[in-house]
Chain A
Amino acid sequence: MNGLDVAALVLILIGALLCLTAAIGVVRFKDVPTRLHAATKPQVLGLILICLAIALSLRSWPVVAFLVPVVLIQLATAPLSAHMVGRQAYRNRTIDEKSLYVDERAQARERERRRDEG
Chain B
Amino acid sequence: MTWLIGVIYVVFAAAALITLWRIIRGPSILDRAVASDVLLTEVMCVLGADMAINHHTRTLPVLLVIAAVGVFGSIAIARFVARKDNADR
A-to-B contact residues, CB < 8 Å: 1, 5-6, 8-10, 12-13, 15-17, 19-20, 22-24, 26-27, 32, 35-36, 39, 42-43, 46-47, 50-51, 53-54, 56-58, 63, 66-67, 69-70, 73-74, 77-78, 80-81, 84-85, 87-89, 91-94
Residue positions of B touching A, CB distance < 8 A = 1, 4-5, 7-8, 11-12, 14-16, 18-19, 21-22, 28, 30-31, 33-35, 37-38, 41-42, 44-45, 48-49, 51-53, 55, 57, 60-61, 63-64, 67-68, 70-71, 73-75, 77-79, 81, 83, 85-86, 89
**12 interchain pairs, CB-CB under 8 A:** A6-B1, A9-B52, A13-B7, A19-B38, A23-B38, A42-B42, A51-B48, A57-B51, A66-B63, A70-B63, A70-B64, A77-B70
Assess whether A84 is in contact with B38, with CB atoms less than 8 Å apart.
Answer: no
Among A26, A47, A56, the one with the most B-chain Cβ atoms within 10 Å of its Cβ is A26
Q: Which residues from B are CB-within-8-Å of A9?
A: 1, 4-5, 8, 52-53
Contact of B12 with A57 in the complex, beta carbons under 8 Å: no
Q: Which residues of A have CB within 8 Å of B79?
A: 84, 88
Contact A50 B75 (CB under 8 A): no
Contacts A20-B11, A27-B18, A58-B57 hold; do A35 and B31 have CB atoms under 8 A apart?
A: yes
Of chain B, the residue at the smallest CB distance from A43 is: B41
Classify the interface of chain A: helix, strand, loop or mixed. Answer: helix
When the two chains form their complex, are residues A1 and B1 in contact, meaning their CB atoms are under 8 A apart?
yes
In the A-B complex, the 9 residue pairs with the closest CB atoms: A77-B71, A50-B48, A57-B52, A84-B78, A23-B18, A16-B11, A23-B15, A81-B74, A19-B15
